[in-house]
Amino acid sequence: MTGKTPAAVTRRFGIGLAALALVATACTSGEAETQGNSPDADGADAAELVITPEDGAQEVAPNSPVTVTSENGVITDVAVEQVVMNEAAADEGEEDPDLYAMTGTLNEEGTEWVSDWNLRPGSEIVVTATAENDAGETTELVQEFTTLDAVAGQRLELESNFPSSGDTVGVGMPIVINFDLPVTNKAQVENSMEVVSEQEVAGAWNWVNDKTAQFRPEEYWDPYQQVSVDLRLAGVEASEGVYGVRNHRIDFEVGRELIATMHVPDHEMVITVDGEQERVIEVSNGKESRHFDTTSSGTHVLMERYESLTMDSATVGIPADSPGSYKVDVQYAVRTSHSGEFVHEASYNGNIGSANTSNGCTNLRMDDALWFFENTLMGDVLDTTGTDREKEWDNGWGVWQKSWDEWLESSATGEAQITDGSGTPGSVHGEQ
């Protein structure tokens, strides 16, 4: 069976029909019956199955659950096949069918099965269910229906994500999901995105805005492990009439634990790897003549990086020829915020190691900048103290600026997601 047992046991399980002693099987479409639907020789009534949505239903909302119930027997197998009817979607290339494998949750009595995920829009759905009565006699029921297609301009798509599959990241890395359309049904979308890690942790999603969700664990990831993210977006109603159309999977690795720390008045950065000091780098930070020129205090997560970059104040709202404007070419730049903070080479700064004279960035000498560029990963942590400018949680990947209680409270579900593969905290389905 493709499904889940009650949470008190374990949510995912499978029962192969070959392991059952089959006495008799009746296969019907639209209604269940076994050998005339009469009691067998031992007096046991045949199992009776009911599937919803009903057989032959057209344009069913994709976020409707598939429900199978049984009388006079326990459910032994449910299979849900989804065939996309939209030619445009079918022409976009082959997709991994495993991305759309449907699991479900079976109640303790074994008499009700409910699908865990939504259905693909614009698809023909075939549900095959099997139940067994006390005498071991089986009943099979097959029903078909179609789902409503997603309207052009109202199809939720994944615009970008960090990390990407195959990336190796630092222990502070959040999972960042950017959508192309606003999301108002945030709890349903959160529950459609399942994170599984080799080392089980509690984590949760927060929304930077209506298009961007970020997941972080309660504490930094344990190093040296694999993490997977299943984005089961197909069929989720992101907002009224807007449905997700595709599922995605992201597989990445958490590498070694690299933590960089700076107390800004000390003019140095200390690097530790797996708890051992690796390198001490002399730096020059912000001169603090104004808020913008002040290096922010807080937990930064390393973001994108450039071998060479033009640092232009016009890109952060300070036009050329205005007081405090600048435009300079630098090498080995690693971003730590959206507001323009980088760790980068600044050979022109003669105050590295002795005074803070930058425009808010962390200036390094060439050899140290090259080392930092080559030996750090996206998701590594830079913990900064000693200034009166506090890093905002939504300025870049500032997810660690919130306490765990604050982070969990700000999740749309309000509940932690445990990364052990047991599922998400709540339902992905719409109101029924």
- Active-site residues, by number, are 344, 361
CA–CA distance, 236 with 189 (Å, rounded to integer): 7
Residue pair 234/120 in contact by the 8 Å Cβ criterion: yes
**SS3 at position 101:** coil
CB burial of residue 407 (10 Å; 0-12, 13-18, 19+):
buried
Helices and strands counted in the chain (H then E): 4, 29
Backbone angles phi, psi at 149, to 5 degrees: -80, 155
Pull the structure tokens for residue 175.
Answer: 């999972």
**SS3 at position 36:** helix
**SS3 at position 129:** strand
Q: Which helix (H) or strand (E) holds 371?
A: helix 366-375
CA–CA distance, 232 with 191 (Å, rounded to integer): 9
Name 257's Cβ contacts closer than 8 Å, sequence gap at least 6. 170, 171, 220, 223, 273, 274, 275
Name the residue with tokens 């890093």. 391
Name the residue with tokens 């033009």. 310
Backbone angles phi, psi at 88, to 5 degrees: -65, -45
Starting at the earlier edge strand, list the strands of the sheet with 225-232.
168-169, 247-254, 225-232, 193-197
CA–CA distance, 48 with 140 (Å, rounded to integer): 9
CB burial of residue 392 (10 Å; 0-12, 13-18, 19+):
middle
Name the residue with tokens 């006699």. 137
